[in-house]
């Protein structure tokens, strides 16, 4: 790593530590060092909340009453926590059973976890656990660990303040993938169980719901249920220890008078009934997604049509149908499906991105550009910027194309690699020195050696290096040609000149192309 970058990281770390303070944790009452201020904590959560939702299916908009019900329960837990944060609760349109909390009280629960709960008390146990994570600064502590272990965080996100598509997410939104993919420590999980159960009891719920919830988690964990292992258990591992702790806490709360609290099974059943009625449709959709991922588009189409026959108002189903048509090169049909998806949910990036790509395939550049730009406003991704780069290049706007390719090239995914290749292709003719380093030095036998290094992450060919030699007789020029240099490769070659006659020498790249 360049020395200057290390210095910048050290300066940043020192500056952060310089403003670190000792604070009292609002939940535990313990004093602790805080590298992230309360204001920064709230700002990080606000900045990353929408990208985090977008990466995991977007908000569940098919049943607003269910979302309002979950938020109402969550706000009861938030009040019971006694910690003043701008709490928000959202249901995500995702079948994987999971829930998470960002710093500053931004909390989400997946549709797939809701269908596995049995009453409102169990919902309160889940949300209370996440409220405790936020209130006790567990998310902020994960950010602080990142600062200490790496010497740097996403400085822009702090200053301004996994997942399915995390590999293609760019810019400040990429911080969301780090926050969601990091695991909590065992101590943090214990604290969230302990205080989350206390919060639900104070909010009027029967803490027995926290016990039955953990019993379900332990049973599913032992059975190795794939969705759970890849979902909730990836960040919140279930264990017999956590179950035993909850049983012990229940006895203590009972002794303190927290008895006769609400289980809320009838209210929960009423709120959940539309979603439970639609469960077969979502199961058909999940099967269609698996078939789509396997490339069996005809079978996937049959399954998603089955889901649509049961629930036509679900945007996800229309979106998947559009994705299948896109893979079948039926771009006009794909656009029709994405139109239907956006008519039902116009706040999910994937429908705009997919429709924009479909319009681009049909040569409809203006509408493609509008859709792709709308998608990056919701979630900046490499596929969108790569496609915008192609559109700009087709319009003859090379400078704008370079900007888009540079943004897309931040990704390590397939689209990022393609964007980097496009950027090198456009810049090589006018900026060969950006990608090729050339210098002349003397070896241990005083011979002049030309050293050429490919700085690009791609192979280059037909490389021409100009060498200018200053001698007593004047300037002498010569050229060196290399057929190919691999990414990062360095090639050495002797110059056929008498070093005793050379006073100074300069070497620079003249031209090259992608291999």
CA distance 287 to 285: 5
Mean pLDDT (the chain, rounded): 88
Q: DSSP assignment of 219-271, as one string?
A: HHHHHT-HHHHHTHHHHS---HHHHHHHHHHHHHHHHTT--S-B--HHHHHHH
CATH architecture for residues 432-514:
Sandwich (2.60)
Q: From 3.40.50.970, 1.10.4190.10, 1.25.40.340, 1.25.40.10, which CATH number describes the 280-427 domain?
A: 1.25.40.10
Q: What is the pLDDT of residues 111-132, one digit of tens each?
A: 999 999 999 999 999 999 999 9
Provide the pLDDT for residue 219: 81
Which one has a higher pLDDT value, 285 or 515?
285
Q: What share of the chain is helix, strand, coil (3-state, %, to 5)?
A: 60, 15, 25
Spatial separation of the C-alpha atoms in residues 150 and 356, rounded to whole Å: 38
- How far is residue 190's CA from residue 136's CA, in Å, rounded to a whole number? 12
Give the whole-angstrom CA distance, residue 100 versus residue 401.
Answer: 37
Query: Which carries the bigger pLDDT value, residue 186 or residue 176?
Result: 186
CA atoms within 13 A on the CB side of 128: 31
Find the mean pLDDT for residues 203-218: 92
Confidence of residue 235 (pLDDT cuts 50, 70, 90): low
Q: Domain segments of the chain: what residues?
A: 3-182, 280-427, 432-514
pTM for the predicted model, two decimal places:
0.85
Does 17 score more than 50 pLDDT? no
Confidence of residue 157 (pLDDT cuts 50, 70, 90): very low
Is the pLDDT score of 281 beyond 90?
yes
- State yes or no: pLDDT of 195 exceeds 50: yes
Query: Which residues, 6 or more positions from 127, have their beta carbon under 8 angstroms from its beta carbon?
Result: 70, 73, 74, 77, 89, 99, 107, 109
Distances (CA, A) of 485 to 141, 427, 439, 490: 45, 17, 16, 7
pLDDT at 7: 37
pLDDT attached to residue 23 = 82
Q: Is 514 exposed, middle or buried (0-12, 13-18, 19+ CB in 10 A)?
A: middle
Share of the chain above pLDDT 70, in %: 86
Topology of domain 3-182 in CATH is Zincin-like (3.30.2010)
Q: What is the pLDDT of residues 373-405, one digit of tens each?
A: 999 999 999 999 999 999 999 999 999 999 999
Nearest alpha carbon to residue 302 among 275, 324, 328: 324
Look at residue 119 in the predicted model and tell me its pLDDT.
Answer: 97
| Average pLDDT over every residue of 353-381 | 97
CA geometry: angle at 13 spanning 408 and 83, to 5°? Answer: 90
Mean pLDDT of 269-291: 97
Q: Could you give phi then psi for residue 505, rounded to 5 degrees?
A: -145, 145
Does residue 191 surpass a pLDDT of 50? yes
Report pLDDT for 158: 29
pLDDT (mean) for 244-256: 93
SS3 of 428, please? coil
The whole-number pLDDT of residue 12 equals 41
Count of residues making up the chain: 515
Q: In this model, does residue 49 exceed pLDDT 60?
A: yes
CA distance 515 to 484: 7
Is the predicted pLDDT of residue 370 greater than 90, yes or no?
yes
60 within 8 A of 66, measured Cβ to Cβ: yes
What integer is the mean pLDDT of 32-59?
Answer: 89
Which run of H or E residues covers position 89? strand 88-92
Q: Is-contact 365 391, C-beta < 8 A?
A: yes
pLDDT at 431 over 90: yes
pLDDT of residue 298: 97
**Cα(22)–Cα(515) distance, integer angstroms:** 56
């Amino acid at each position: 790593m360049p020395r200057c970058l290390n210095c910048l990281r050290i300066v940043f770390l020192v500056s952060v530590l310089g403003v670190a303070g000792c604070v009292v944790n609002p939940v535990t009452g313990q004093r602790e060092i805080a590298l992230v201020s309360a204001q920064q904590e709230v700002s990080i959560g606000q900045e990353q909340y929408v990208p985090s939702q977008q990466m995991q299916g977007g908000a569940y908009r098919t049943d607003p009453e269910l979302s309002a019900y979950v938020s109402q329960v969550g706000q009861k837990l938030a009040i019971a926590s006694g910690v003043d944060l701008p709490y928000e609760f959202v249901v995500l349109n995702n079948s994987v059973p999971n829930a998470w909390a960002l710093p500053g009280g931004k909390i989400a629960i997946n549709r797939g976890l809701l269908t596995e709960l049995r009453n409102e008390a169990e919902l309160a146990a889940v949300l209370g656990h996440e409220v405790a994570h936020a209130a006790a600064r567990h998310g902020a502590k994960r950010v602080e660990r990142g600062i200490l272990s790496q010497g740097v965080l996403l400085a822009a996100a702090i200053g301004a303040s996994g997942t399915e598509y995390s590999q293609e997410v760019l810019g400040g939104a990429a911080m969301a993938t780090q926050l969601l993919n990091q695991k909590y420590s065992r101590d943090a999980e214990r604290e969230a169980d302990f205080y989350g159960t206390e919060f639900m009891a104070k909010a009027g719920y029967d803490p027995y719901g926290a016990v039955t919830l953990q019993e379900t988690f332990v049973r599913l964990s032992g059975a190795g249920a794939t969705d759970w292992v890849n979902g909730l258990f990836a960040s919140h591992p279930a264990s017999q220890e956590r179950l035993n702790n909850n049983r012990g806490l229940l006895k203590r709360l009972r002794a303190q008078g927290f008895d006769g609290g609400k289980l809320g099974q009838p209210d929960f059943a009423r709120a959940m009934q539309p979603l439970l009625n639609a469960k077969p449709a979502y199961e058909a959709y999940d099967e269609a997604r698996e078939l789509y991922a396997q490339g069996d588009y005809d079978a996937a189409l049959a399954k998603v049509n089955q889901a649509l026959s049961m629930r036509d108002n679900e945007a996800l189903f229309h979106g998947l149908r559009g994705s299948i048509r896109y893979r079948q090169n039926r771009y006009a049909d794909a656009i029709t499906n994405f139109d239907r998806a956006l008519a039902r949910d116009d706040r999910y990036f994937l429908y705009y991105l997919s429709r924009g790509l479909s319009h681009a395939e049909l040569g409809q550049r203006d509408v493609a550009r509008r859709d792709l730009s709308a998608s990056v406003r919701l979630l900046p991704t490499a596929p969108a910027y790569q496609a915008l780069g192609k559109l700009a290049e087709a319009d003859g706007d090379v400078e704008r194309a370079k900007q888009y390719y540079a943004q897309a090239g931040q990704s390590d995914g397939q689209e990022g690699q393609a964007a980097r290749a496009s950027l090198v292709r456009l810049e090589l003719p006018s900026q060969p020195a950006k990608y090729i380093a050339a210098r002349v030095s003397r070896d241990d036998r005083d011979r002049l050696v030309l050293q050429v290094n490919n700085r690009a992450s791609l192979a280059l060919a037909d490389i021409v290096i100009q060498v200018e030699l200053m001698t007593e007789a004047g300037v002498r020029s010569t050229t060196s040609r290399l057929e190919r240099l691999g990414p990062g490769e360095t090639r050495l070659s002797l110059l056929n000149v008498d070093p005793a006659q050379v006073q100074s020498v300069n070497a620079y790249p003249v031209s090259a192309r992608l291999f």
